[in-house]
Amino acid sequence: MTATATATAAQETAPAALEVHDVHKWYGTHRVLDGIDLTVRPGEVTVVIGPSGSGKSTLLRVINHLEKPEIGHVSVGGELIGVRRVGDRLKELGERAILAQRGRIGFVFQNFNLFPHLTVLDNVAAAPVATGRLGKAEARALARELLTRVGLGERTGAYPRQLSGGQQQRVAIARALALRPGIILFDEPTSALDPELVGEVLSVIKDLATSGTTLVIVTHEIGFAREVADRIVFIDGGRIVEQGTPTQVLDHPEHPRTRDFLAKVL
């Protein structure tokens, strides 16, 4: 009994892997995010679903500070992202500091965004070298290892355009892993893929999920969400409408908007 109690206590005192606090984001008069609060525990897999234009992607982009929130703040592993606290105010961080923070947050894009002029190996090895974490030889060894892990150990010398979409996305995942991030964000990782290539990418993400990496995944693949998610978050109109376990949200949605959405996509 005491063992479980201390375990729970430890979990509560450890900093959250991700904390989004009252984030608002708007473009002109268009409110994209309208007060998002979200806490993700270390090792947790969170899947964000919702209709197009609901703010899912923007939420991910705010988390690694590709977009600045108008109000609110984000912290990853207990560290504020993009800002620092001075007394009771938040001040914007310098570019260099923000770039250093992004190295701790993996990001996988819908359109892969691999660097077309670099080989697959260099795509993966570039960031650890450029940020001064690893030497060239070490980075290449790590890149080989990661590419083998995503099933592309044979294609290290290829250029991205010589690969299929599914292979490119797996390289992009290896590239994100190369910085050994504490959390990885996936922005609709399979939306740009032909249907027969979706499976290979999802299986790599599933491996990551079961290996205890903290993941936040925006996706339209509801079946996949049910399989990997510890928690599902349904967003509509820039707000979290409801969240819970896959069974709660997908099978017994409480909110009519969730029910509407699921009726359309399932």
Partner 1 sequence: MSQPPGAAVSLAEAPPAAQPSKPLAAQRVQPLRRPGRWIATAVVLVVVAQIAHGLATNPFYQWDRFRYWFLRPTVLDGLLVTLEVAALSALLGLVGGVLLALARQSGSPVLRAVSWTYTWLFRSVPLIVVLIFLYNFSALYKTLSLGIPFGPAFVTFDESKLATDMTVAVIGLGLNEAAYAAEVVRGGLLSVDQGQHEAAAALGLPKGYQFTRIVLPQALRSITPNYVNQLIGLVKSTSLVFYVSLLDLFGSVQTMGSTYPGDIVPLLLVATVWYLILTSAVSVVQFYVERYFARGATRTLPPTPLQKARAALAAFRTRLRGEAVV
Residues touching partner 1, count (CB under 8 A):
32
Q: Which is nearer to partner 1, 103 or 237 (CB)?
A: 103
Q: Which two tokens stand for residue 241?
A: 């409408």
Q: How far is the CB of 23 from partner 1 (least distance, A)?
A: 18
Please identify, among the stretches 32-40, 93-101, 201-209, 245-253, the one whose residues bind partner 1 according to the rule CB under 8 A.
93-101
Q: Which is nearer to partner 1, 168 or 258 (CB)?
A: 168
Q: Which is nearer to partner 1, 107 or 261 (CB)?
A: 107
Is residue 68 close enough to count as binding partner 1 by CB under 8 A? no
Is residue 116 close enough to count as binding partner 1 by CB under 8 A? yes
The DSSP annotation for 215-253 comes to EEEE-S-HHHHHHH-SEEEEEETTEEEEEE-HIIIIIS-
H-type alpha helices, the chain: 2-13, 56-63, 95-102, 120-130, 136-149, 165-177, 195-210, 222-228, 246, 256-265
For residue 241, what are the contacts with CB-CB under 8 A and spacing of at least 6?
50, 234, 235, 255, 257, 258
Applying CB under 8 A, among 23, 44, 55, 102 the residue interacting with partner 1 is 102
Is residue 111 close enough to count as binding partner 1 by CB under 8 A? yes
Kindly tell me the burial class for residue 132, based on how many C-beta atoms sit within 10 Å of its own C-beta (0-12, 13-18, 19 or more).
exposed
Show the 3-state SS of 151-170: CCCCCCCCCHHHCCHHHHHH
Over the window 45 to 64, marking each residue x when it contacts partner 1 by CB under 8 A and - when it does not, the resulting string is -------------------x
Applying CB under 8 A, among 119, 156, 213, 219 the residue interacting with partner 1 is 119
Is residue 164 close enough to count as binding partner 1 by CB under 8 A? no
Binding residues for partner 1 (CB under 8 A): 64, 66, 95-96, 99-105, 107, 109, 111, 113-119, 126-127, 130-131, 159-162, 175-176, 179
